[in-house]
Structure 1
């Protein structure tokens, strides 16, 4: 059985800056020696992964349930079915991720960083479970949770490293 990774979700409304923030944080986490896995929820857009006309696309179009491709430097696999977040995390564990950062999946029960872009986004705090910190585009204070500015990359990185070291997100299902 693979070692269970620490899990931390980043949730926010559309265009709140989730992907941009994660791309700023990943290098600092990896440089700290923490192997990061990312799971992105595609809120119903039915993403397209492989290129029309390429071999993997042809196999998928022919009806294969699973298509994998590997090269000298990387591997990818596409399944023709949705998976639960817990299953995706288990697969990240098998791939030896230390920390799984999840973008989206607002209704899941893992600990969450809540990203607030506009004042009206504050309602999200009452709609999600297990918030552990807030990242805000505007000055904001919370009576219990730590609040970071969207531009405080170092502060957010420090929080995530501490979160990982303390193992807060293990077994949070």
Structure 2
């Protein structure tokens, strides 16, 4: 099992000096951590010269001697001091901080991140900012998605413009908003292993591939992307070998809820069984299924507030290597089934659909091939030979 880093979503809190944003953020961070979230933080320092070490310390002496990159490590903490030729952008800083549920940035008003403005009546500098916000709905050109303030007129103006407004002491409310709107949702990866496999002549899940069941290979390839992994199947008694796999997350077997099988019914089973808000659907015969592609799809879905992100190529949609939002897609899929629909794509018109096109696919998976599936023993043998000769992807 390989390690896969997931991009961290981020949001910026901005305000003037003495607006109270640091005091507020300390409380908000503590609240989020108490809820079990993994939080990273970035502080934009306006002064060129600052230090996290003291003259006379060994690490300080290393830098003083000319080291341009000094790492300080203890059994429980690590810090890195790097001399820069130019200031990195906020995007670059956040990109260097993967695997957080949320990164909270203090400052970087013009970063392009969603901005939450802090305005406090007792801070003289905030009075001009409040007037600007009341007049044009922004401060220094940045339109916030929410404001935190003790000024009733600012809160009312924010609500009138469709923004959220919170009091300075409403730590729980702010945390709720951050979790709901910005924090990365947990992801269930659902492997569809309930097909009849007529052309294969036996279950695709248990057919041998490079010395192990094909399903075991798919699990090992997609598990790094998953917070939970489920396998939808009509033969749970034959999949006991999954108990011996260390997938790094829980694996559950889910029996198909519909007597009559089909692509759309299998997806509805997965949506209903998933414990998490996002659900990646992967077919068990996609021998080059890609965890990095799943992570990229989930990231785009979350950032763009889509209900589904589905790859598309010259052959059409690839719904069995896509990510879906359970809240929207489960009722849409069930409604399509009730109308007699059977295809995986038959509910797409009823949700906010995002398409992952060829160029985006190439960036996420440069080696390609992640939609290749096997339907017959000859196809299976041919791909096995190609892996032996050319290596795996």
TM-score, normalised to structure 2, is 0.41
| CA distance 1:9–1:169, change in 2 (3 Å) | farther
Contact 2:14 2:118 in 1 (8 A): yes
| CA distance 1:73–1:34, change in 2 (3 Å) | same
Q: Which of the residues 22, 29, 32 maps onto 2:32?
A: 29
Residues 75-114 of structure 1: pairs in structure 2 closer than 5 A? 75-81=78-84, 82-93=87-98, 96-114=99-117
Residues 1-173 of structure 1: pairs in structure 2 closer than 5 A? 2-81=5-84, 82-93=87-98, 96-117=99-120, 118-122=126-130, 123=132, 125-139=138-152, 140=154, 141=156, 142=158, 143=160, 144-163=162-181, 164=183, 170=303
Higher relative CO (Cα under 8 Å, sequence separation at least 6) belongs to 1
Whole-Å separation in 2 of the counterparts to 1:161 and 1:11: 19
Stretches of structure 2 lacking an aligned partner (at least 5 in a row): 121-125, 186-298, 305-393
Whole-Å separation in 2 of the counterparts to 1:84 and 1:169: 22
- Structure 1 runs (4+) greater than 3 angstroms displaced: 165-171
Deviations 1:61-88 (A, max 9, x none): 1111100011110111011113221221
Comparing 124-133 with 69-78, greater Cα deviation is found at 124-133
**Count of residue pairs the alignment pairs up:** 169
1:131 match: secondary structure: coil
Deviations 1:94-138 (A, max 9, x none): xx2221100001111000111112332222624243521000132
TM-score, normalised to structure 1, is 0.88
Stretches of structure 1 lacking an aligned partner (at least 5 in a row): none
Contact 2:91 2:111 in 1 (8 A): no
Provide the alpha-carbon RMSD of the alignment.
2.1
Comparing 72-81 with 130-139, greater Cα deviation is found at 130-139
Deviations 1:129-173 (A, max 9, x none): 3521000132231212111111111111111111125679748xx
